[in-house]
Structure 1
Amino acid sequence: MAGSTAIPTRREPTPEEFVAMQQSSEFQELRSTFRGFTFPMMIASLVWYLLYVLVATFASDAMARPFLGLNVGLWLGLLQFITTFAITWFYVKWANKNIEPRAAHIREVMEG
């Protein structure tokens, strides 16, 4: 057909190639970089969430105090959402810079 664009064909890597790539230093570095960011961020967000639950459970009087037109508990609840979105935004920016280029290179090597 005139004017149609050809879809590039990709090679399907063999199971042995997947295992070899998984054991390569390039993949191990990518995995280490990913884990170095995500694990601490996950732990921090879980601690923040558990702190919120514990304060709500054991310091309900403090959570009920008025603050800027709402009570402290509502403000902390809103902060839970805000920090979740902030962490997601920060991760996307970080991953686009630190993970995606490396993953794209590995994909290119694997698929040809």
Structure 2
Amino acid sequence: MAVSDEGEDPVRQRESRAYEAVHQAADFTELKRRYRNFVVPWTIAFMAWYLAYVACNNWARDFMSHKVAGHINVALIFGLLQFVSTFVIAALYGRFANRKLDPLASGLNAKYKRERRR
């Protein structure tokens, strides 16, 4: 394998240039912005919901032990809703990614491949 004057593999140089070109693209900045705008609020919301569940289990025992139907109490419902909320957020993210992130990512991937061939 030939090594350039700079001591770096030419294939590695092409890949590095391609990565830099993609990294500097406006679409890459937009992709990161869209991702953050989805992930940060949902992470905060989920963590608040989870911490509320933990806090209620620790300090609102009367409320959490309230029977809803038979042996089913509020704590059990809250626990199950933790799983439900996880799946709902995952589904929302999948839908969001398909509509808003994947088109940008596909374009950036194509740009990366074009730049690598140069």
1:77 aligns with 2:79: yes
Show structure 1 runs of 4+ deviating over 2 A. Answer: none
1:48 paired residue number: 49
Aligned residues: 102
Q: Could you say what secondary structure the match of 1:99 adopts?
A: helix
Q: Partners in 1 of 2:21 and 2:80 — Cα distance?
A: 46
Please report the RMSD computed on the Cα atoms of aligned residues, expressed in angstroms: 1.6
Q: Given that residues 35 and 101 in structure 2 are in contact (C-alpha distance below 8 angstroms), is that contact kept between their aligned partners in structure 1?
A: yes
Paired with 1:31 and 1:49, the residues of 2 have a C-alpha distance of: 26
1:91 aligns with 2:93: yes
1:100 maps to which residue?
102
Partner of 2:6: none
Q: Which amino acid in structure 1 is aligned with residue 40 of structure 2?
A: F
Residues in 2 aligned to 1:109 and 1:19: alpha-carbon distance in whole angstroms: 11
In structure 2, the residue matched to 1:14 is 15
State the Cα distance separating 1:14 from its structure 2 match.
1.7
Mind listing any 5+ residue stretches in structure 1 that lack a counterpart? Answer: 1-10
For residue 24 of structure 1, report the CA deviation from its aligned partner: 2.0
Normalized per residue, which structure has more helix? 2
Question: Could you tell me how far apart the structure 2 residues matched to 1:20 and 1:68 are?
Answer: 60
Stretches of structure 2 that go unaligned for 5 or more consecutive residues are: 1-10
Cα shift at 1:84: 0.6
Q: Which segment drifts farther, 91-100 or 11-20?
A: 11-20
Give TM-score, length-normalised by structure 1: 0.84
